[in-house]
């Protein structure tokens, strides 16, 4: 019998994942992507209710929360570092640099090193939280893949984790994009009914029955 929750999860998850692809759209892209993420969150909640495993939703919710915290902390570090160091630096002087000695001399300008260090620290925080968030989304998707027999969720979760780790060399963003494409396919190919669990009969006792 078709499950209404799985049907809704299939639609909301697929549509939400498509909206997440629109993140690069200027001005409104992040709003559209955030709405898409909320739809995926609701879809995962429906799936968790249907398979009666709330860890599926909790792990995905942790992904959501950790991602937001990481982004907020990173932005906060960048803003503070800018007003503490960056605002007092004449960045136009860097446009006239024509050699490495000149560049090295400019870097020694007061405030430049602390500002660059703060930016790197913010990016490092963002990178670490991205990896942790990807770990939890993989846990959630692995369970969904197992319960719905949709292996594409397993692949998407693995690629999210690999992509998060390799974002430090930029190629990770391409891998995450591929993971999102597979996530769309996974939701739309998900069945609307769950297979009944296979019950293994107990092994038969062998041997001669005891004598009275």
Could you state, in order of their start, the residue ranges of all structural domains in the chain? 4-68+130-189
Per mean pLDDT, which range of 72-86, 97-111, 148-162, 165-179 is the poorest?
A: 97-111
Split at pLDDT 50, 70, 90, the class of 47 is very high
- Specify burial of residue 53 (Cβ count, 10 A radius: 0-12, 13-18, 19+): middle
- Computed over every residue of the chain, the mean pLDDT equals 86
pLDDT beyond 60 at 206: no
What's the rounded mean pLDDT across residues 87-95? 66
pLDDT digits (tens, 9 = 90+) for 103-150: 666 666 666 777 788 889 989 999 999 999 999 999 999 999 999 999
pLDDT beyond 50 at 1: no
Q: Tell me the C-alpha to C-alpha distance, in Å, between residue 62 and each of 41, 77, 118.
A: 11, 22, 26
pLDDT beyond 60 at 71: yes
């Amino acid at each position: 019998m078709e499950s209404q929750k799985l049907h809704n999860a299939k639609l909301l998850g697929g549509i939400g994942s498509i909206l997440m692809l629109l993140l690069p759209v200027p001005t409104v892209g992040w709003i559209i992507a955030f709405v898409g993420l909320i739809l995926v969150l609701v879809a995962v909640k429906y799936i968790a209710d249907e398979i009666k495993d709330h860890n599926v939703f909790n792990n995905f919710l942790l992904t959501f929360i950790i991602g937001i915290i990481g982004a907020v902390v990173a932005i906060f570090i960048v803003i503070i570092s800018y007003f503490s160091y960056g605002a007092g630096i004449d960045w136009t002087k860097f446009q006239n640099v024509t050699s490495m000695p000149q560049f090295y001399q400019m870097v020694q300008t007061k405030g430049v090193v602390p500002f660059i260090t703060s930016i790197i620290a913010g990016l490092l925080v963002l990178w670490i939280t991205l990896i942790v968030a990807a770990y939890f989304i993989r846990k959630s998707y692995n369970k969904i893949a197992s319960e719905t027999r949709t292996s594409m969720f397993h692949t998407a979760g693995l690629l999210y984790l690999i992509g998060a780790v390799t974002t430090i060399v930029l190629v990770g963003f391409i891998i995450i994009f591929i993971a999102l494409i597979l996530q769309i396919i996974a939701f739309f190919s998900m069945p609307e009914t769950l297979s009944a669990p296979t019950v293994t009969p107990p092994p038969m006792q062998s041997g001669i029955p005891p004598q009275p």
